[in-house]
Amino acid sequence: DFESRFNLPHLRDVLDIEPRLTTFSLNGRGPQIVDGADVPEDRKNGYVNEDDRALLKAIKYCSPNSAGAECIDPDCSWVEQWVHRAGPRKQIYFEPGEVKAGIVTCGGLCPGLNDVIRQIVITLELYGVKKIAGFQYGYRGFFDQDLPEIALSRHMVQNINLAGGSLLGVSRGGANIGDIVDSIQARELDMLFVLGGNGTHAGANAIHNECRRRKMKVSVVGVPKTIDNDILLMDKTFGFDTAVEEAQRAINSAYIEAHSAYHGIGLVKLMGRSSGFIAMQASLASGQIDVCLIPEVPFKFSGPYGVLRHLEHLIQTKGSAVICVAEGAGQDLLEKSNLTDASGNVILGDIGVHIQQQIKRHFKEIGVPADVKYIDPTYMIRACRANASDAILCTVLGQNAVHGAFAGYSGITVGICNSHYVYLPIPEVISSPRVVDPNSRMWHRCLTSTGQPDFC
Ligand code: ATP
Ligand code: MG
């Protein structure tokens, strides 16, 4: 049974529209519209068929409590699910020369945003699109009169990947879906590419639904931007690899500081509001972390099994220690502030500062000197330019976003699942954040590498 696990929303679900046939040329000319079925032989092979499927997962779990087993279907130990392959389609639903496409980047910064913008523009031009508008500072660019559209072209975006950040700027908050769709209508947009995290995608899906309700022929396609790698079903999101690589540098500095000081304790706080993937991977990659703390795994500071007692042990036996903590870890140990940012996200307590204070107080109390060095490299990491592997991921995602829009899909997002590039409906990937499974082999590997005990 090769049925896709998900139905992809398509413009023809609500609109009476006919596709155009294209030929795909592999020599850099891109898709060309043709009339009739007269497609030259050498132009028939560049497509991904609409019925093509990619295998989401293929593991045989021998029991439900096998490490890492996700019981999607408790009666079946085979997890085998299919999803839509991404890529250029033979049939497209827009006349490229008449298309006006928009691009917007929302939320926080993430390495690779410029790479995705660049590739979307290049691919749109390859299709023959002439009107490409960049919206400034997130969704704000749709209704703030002081923020005009930026006309984008291949020439303009040629080198933007050489720097981090976003050419278009980012922002949080202020998204009124009705106003945004009014603006899309007034500007006569046919396609909207939305780069952002879970909040942005919730917005993109709401825009898609409102366009559907108004029977507008607009394709809304998301490209998931989350440095935390916390999008469901996806192997990884762009920026994550770069973040891990940069985080390693911070860990290395913390290690050198700790190792060079008498009773030195290095502490590095990394991104990860609800998921500890960056902290886990950076700890694994660096090999210098003694204690890795993530949101998914509760821990205690004090008591015989607490973090502080383990630090005492490390100072006695090794002379120094290095801790890596994800920003969302141990929130139950901090006072709740109930404050939210402009987008309504809860502002987290600063676990890094809290741990630093706890350690200093504890070692003072027991009369053992300890030299704590705290590093928070968050903004340095977010502003980095994408590394090679992220740059490739961004390039493919940007291309596939454009192919998806031309294929007539809307309310979808692009991603890499089980090493295949796929399209997924937005609601399926934002229903909850993807988190580290404390029962997974990867977390166990991390614990093996740090040698830390259970802190509960
Ligand atoms: P990051 O990973 O950096 O947090 P994000 O996309 O989650 O990225 P947010 O600041 O939460 O960033 O949201 C970005 C934009 O999406 C904001 O303009 C916000 O107003 C809008 N938004 C957030 N949640 C929703 C929602 N549920 N419906 C509509 N719009 C939303
Ligand atoms: Mg978010």
What is the spatial distance between Cα 169 and Cα 184, in angstroms, rounded to a whole number? 19
Q: Among 136, 127, 146, 148, which residue's Cα sits nearest to residue 103?
A: 136
The pLDDT value recorded for residue 95 is 93
Residue indicated by tokens 């295949």 = 420
* Residue owning the nearest CA to atom 25 of ligand 1: 199
Nearest ligand 1 atom, CA 226: 2
- Whole-angstrom CA distances from 62 to 72, 73, 76, 355, 441 are 14, 13, 10, 40, 15
CB of residue 206 inside a 6 A radius of ligand 1: yes
The pLDDT value recorded for residue 74 is 52
Number of the ligand closest to the Cα of 199:
1
The pLDDT value recorded for residue 69 is 60
Q: For residue 24, what pLDDT band results from cuts at 50, 70 and 90? A: low
Structure tokens, 177 = 């879906």
Nearest ligand 1 atom, CA 177: 29
Mean pLDDT of the chain: 92
Q: Quick check: helix, strand or coil at residue 43?
A: helix
CB of residue 203 inside a 6 A radius of ligand 1: yes
CB of residue 9 inside a 6 A radius of ligand 1: no
* Residue owning the nearest CA to atom 19 of ligand 1: 173
Q: Among 286, 299, 298, 289, which residue's Cα sits nearest to residue 265?
A: 289
Q: How far is the CA of 171 from the centre of ligand 1 (A)?
A: 9
Selected catalytic residue, list 115, 228, 230, 290: 228
What is the spatial distance between Cα 419 and Cα 204, in angstroms, rounded to a whole number? 25
The ipTM estimated for the assembled molecules is: 0.98
Q: Is 199 annotated as a binding residue?
A: yes
Q: Quick check: helix, strand or coil at residue 185?
A: helix
**What pTM did the predictor assign?**
0.94
Task: Spell out where 271-411 has E strands.
Answer: 291-293, 321-326, 371-375
Rounded to 10°, the helix 388-406/240-260 angle is 160
Q: Is pLDDT at 73 greater than 60 in this prediction?
A: no
CA 30: distance to chain centroid? 28
CB under 8 Å to 384, separation ≥6 — which residues?
Answer: 111, 164, 242, 243, 246
CB of residue 173 inside a 6 A radius of ligand 1: yes
Q: Among 424, 428, 429, which residue's Cα sits nearest to residue 84?
A: 424
The pLDDT value recorded for residue 33 is 73
- DSSP states of 389-403: HHHHHHHHHHHHHHH
Q: For residue 90, what pLDDT band results from cuts at 50, 70 and 90? A: confident
Q: How far is the CA of 230 from the centre of ligand 1 (A)?
A: 15
For the chain, give the percent of residues with pLDDT over 70.
Answer: 91
Task: Spell out where 149-290 has E strands.
Answer: 150-151, 191-196, 219-224, 264-270
Residue indicated by tokens 């992809």 = 8
Taking a 5 Å cut-off on Cβ, the residues next to ion ligand 2 are: 197-199
Task: Please confirm, yes or no, whether 228 is among the known catalytic residues.
Answer: yes
Q: Is 271 annotated as a binding residue?
A: yes
